[in-house]
């Protein structure tokens, strides 16, 4: 089996990291991007080239089975053991062991020393505490203090604790990362398109617990007759030409309600699985769904991580979540390629896309509350969720009114389900002001000059000029100043603000602002300037400055 170029690059990055550093790396590859071949290759090399022992850890049996299958393909002669209660196998004496964490977390001593521990879905490792992963790894380090940990994940963060890599964490640094959009462009993942559901609940009154909506409240809000019937009608309408539709619901009662309405009102069969569905019934439904015999399948907290059905060409989210990881995992069920689908439609009835941003640029460091403002916009004509930079909807040609937006709204600026759209807008400048800016919560950081451009009654854009920095930032500041002034480039921010306030800079007539999906702030990319003023040491220049500031007497000009 030949690795794809990015998979080969990931393997090489891991080896380079292990050679050059003493801590533990993490590889980030999107869902359906093929993490398992990367793991299998590392296992093969570790055993055959370096005579090592390797343990692969995962938390669901589907991932264990995938790892075993890929190892048999890549290294058929490699001795591999499987340790999993759910798969009824307990083999510990092989060069490579694939184990369910629930089964092995107290058995590190029985396993014996290993050289590498590879953790699939590494975001499952908690940042602190005594969970199963941390318990096992701590014991494994007692058995072999030199053991190295390698993590693989599509989502390198946790809802409550943020990024999983850090100096004090089990995983310390991302050694390789490839993005969703990059793999779509290269033809390795399925293109996505999205629409917001018309039938949506008011979630403003929902409470949170441990960073997520309270499950019972969510189900009560989503499981009303009007909402379920409206959502089901819309799903049927939008999926007439779709082959395989996976529906995520907000609870068991809600999921059964959705399946019943699809069956009784629309005459279609909808399977339903949840945590307590009998194994035989669940397996039968999944096999029919994967084979294309069952078009609609609803589930509750079951078919996310490890569920592989490449034919899925529509994902319908009938549950809101505050977890960017869960949102990503739901959408990710449609990432896989299949010969009978050209794209995957994402129907969002829970406001998740607006809450979390594009799947290739998740807003994982933003506070949950954003003053009710969405990080992207929905077309009122066709309900497509599109980049906020569009003035005309690309789906139905609806024309949006001109945007009126301040530079630093508490929201992501643009988005769609993918962050592939960039827009640029020119704004006439009505006034400019200059300020000394200190970085919040970092008194040691060098100050910058904050330039504020007022465009219209309530719209303000900002940029920062770094006179007291070094290297490239200082070079950019010098270029910025020389475009506008005949004065020598100031050596400090205070000096720059004083000179600017005294009229040493050319007037700014207009600015061009770039908006890019998934990025927090807009960026000023061009300026139209008036003529540079004369040098203020020149007599005519001083007079011009005095005139510009209301005829200030020469002895009162502050320089």
**What does the domain layout of the chain look like in residue ranges?**
5-178, 187-419, 424-556
Return the CATH number of the domain spanning residue range 5-178. 3.40.50.300
Please return the burial class of 532, using the count of CB atoms within 10 Å of its CB with bins 0-12, 13-18 and 19+: middle
The CA-atom distances, in angstroms, between 201 and each of 46, 196, 222, 453, 504 are: 52, 12, 6, 39, 55
Please return the burial class of 118, using the count of CB atoms within 10 Å of its CB with bins 0-12, 13-18 and 19+: buried
In words, the CATH class of domain 187-419 is alpha beta
Q: Where are the alpha helices (DSSP H) in 400-470?
A: none
Q: What local confidence, expressed as pLDDT, does residue 420 receive?
A: 54
Q: What local confidence, expressed as pLDDT, does residue 308 receive?
A: 83
**Token representation of residue 151:** 């993590």
442-481 burial, b at 16+ Cβ within 10 Å, e below that, comes to eeeebbbbbbebebeeebebbbbbbbbbeeebbeebeebb
Q: What local confidence, expressed as pLDDT, does residue 395 receive?
A: 58
Which residue's entry shows tokens 């800079």?
A: 505
Q: Are 165 and 40 in contact (CB under 8 A)?
A: no
Rounded Cα–Cα distance for residues 547 and 530 (Å): 17
For 213, the 3-state DSSP assignment is strand
For 222, the 3-state DSSP assignment is helix
Question: Quick one: DSSP state of residue 380?
Answer: T
Sequence-distant (≥ 6) Cβ neighbours of residue 167 within 8 angstroms: 23
Rounded Cα–Cα distance for residues 193 and 179 (Å): 17
Q: Do domains 5-178 and 187-419 have the same CATH topology?
A: yes
10-residue mean pLDDT series, the chain (559 residues): 92 95 94 92 93 93 89 89 90 92 92 94 85 93 95 85 87 92 92 78 81 89 93 94 96 96 97 93 94 96 84 94 90 93 92 82 50 53 60 62 41 44 78 87 83 81 90 89 93 92 91 72 87 69 46 35
**Token representation of residue 512:** 């061009």
**Token representation of residue 292:** 């294309």
Farthest CA pair distance, the chain: 92
Sequence-distant (≥ 6) Cβ neighbours of residue 239 within 8 angstroms: 245, 295, 296, 314, 345
Q: Please compute Rg for the chain using Cα positions.
A: 28
Tell whether pTM > 0.75: no
**Token representation of residue 343:** 């794209």
Q: Where are the alpha helices (DSSP H) in 225-364?
A: 225-238, 252-266, 279-291, 324-332, 352-356
């Amino acid at each position: 089996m030949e690795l794809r170029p990015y998979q080969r690059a990931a393997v090489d990055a891991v080896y380079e990291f292990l050679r050059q550093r003493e801590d533990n790396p993490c590889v980030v590859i999107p869902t359906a991007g093929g993490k398992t071949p990367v793991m299998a290759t590392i296992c093969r090399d570790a055993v055959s080239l370096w005579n090592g022992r390797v343990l692969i850890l995962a938390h669901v049996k589907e991932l264990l089975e995938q790892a075993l299958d890929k190892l048999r393909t890549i290294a058929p002669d490699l001795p591999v053991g499987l340790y999993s209660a759910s798969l009824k196998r307990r083999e510990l004496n092989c060069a490579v062991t694939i184990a369910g964490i629930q089964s092995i977390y107290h058995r590190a001593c029985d396993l014996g020393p290993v050289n590498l521990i590879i953790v699939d879905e590494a975001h499952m490792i908690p940042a602190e505490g005594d969970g199963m992963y941390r318990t096992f790894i701590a014991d494994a380090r007692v058995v072999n203090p030199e053991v190295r940990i390698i993590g693989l994940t599509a989502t390198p963060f946790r809802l409550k604790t943020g990024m999983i890599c850090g100096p004090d964490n089990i995983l310390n640094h991302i050694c390789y990362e490839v993005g969703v959009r990059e793999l779509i462009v290269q033809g390795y993942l399925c293109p996505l398109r999205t629409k917001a559901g018309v039938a949506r609940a008011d979630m403003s009154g929902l409470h949170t617990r441990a960073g997520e909506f309270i499950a019972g409240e969510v189900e009560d809000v989503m499981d009303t007759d009007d909402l379920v019937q409206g959502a089901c009608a819309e799903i049927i309408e939008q999926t007439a030409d779709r082959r395989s539709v996976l529906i995520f619901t907000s609870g068991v009662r809600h999921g059964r309600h959705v399946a019943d309405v699809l069956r009784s009102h629309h005459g279609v069969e909808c399977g339903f699985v949840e945590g307590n569905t009998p194994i035989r019934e669940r397996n039968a439904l999944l096999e029919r769904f994967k084979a294309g015999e069952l078009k609609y399948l609803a589930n509750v907290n079951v078919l996310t991580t490890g569920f592989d059905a490449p034919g899925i060409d529509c994902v319908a989210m009938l549950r809101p979540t505050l977890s960017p990881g869960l949102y990503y995992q739901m959408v990710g069920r449609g990432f896989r390629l299949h010969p009978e689908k050209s794209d995957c439609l994402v129907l969002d009835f829970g406001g998740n896309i607006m809450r979390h941003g594009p799947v290739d640029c998740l807003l994982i460091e933003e506070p949950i509350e954003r003053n009710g403002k969405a990080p992207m916009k929905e077309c009122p004509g066709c309900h497509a969720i599109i980049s906020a930079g569009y003035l005309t909807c690309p789906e139905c040609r609806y024309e949006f009114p001109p945007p009126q937006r301040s530079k630093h709204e508490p929201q992501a600026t643009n988005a769609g389900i993918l962050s592939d759209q960039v827009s640029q807008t020119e704004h006439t400048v009505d006034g400019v002001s200059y300020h000394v800016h200190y970085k919040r919560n970092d008194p040691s950081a060098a100050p910058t000059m904050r330039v504020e451009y007022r465009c219209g009654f309530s719209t303000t854009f900002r940029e920062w000029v770094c006179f007291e920095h070094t290297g490239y930032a200082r070079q950019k500041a010098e270029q910025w100043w020389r475009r506008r002034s005949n004065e020598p480039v100031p050596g400090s921010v205070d000096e720059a603000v004083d000179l600017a306030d005294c009229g040493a800079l050319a007037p700014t007539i207009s600015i061009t602002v770039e908006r890019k999906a998934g990025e927090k702030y807009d960026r000023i990319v061009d300026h139209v300037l008036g003529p540079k003023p004369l040098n203020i040491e020149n007599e005519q220049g001083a007079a011009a400055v005095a005139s510009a500031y209301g005829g200030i007497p020469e002895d009162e000009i502050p320089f």
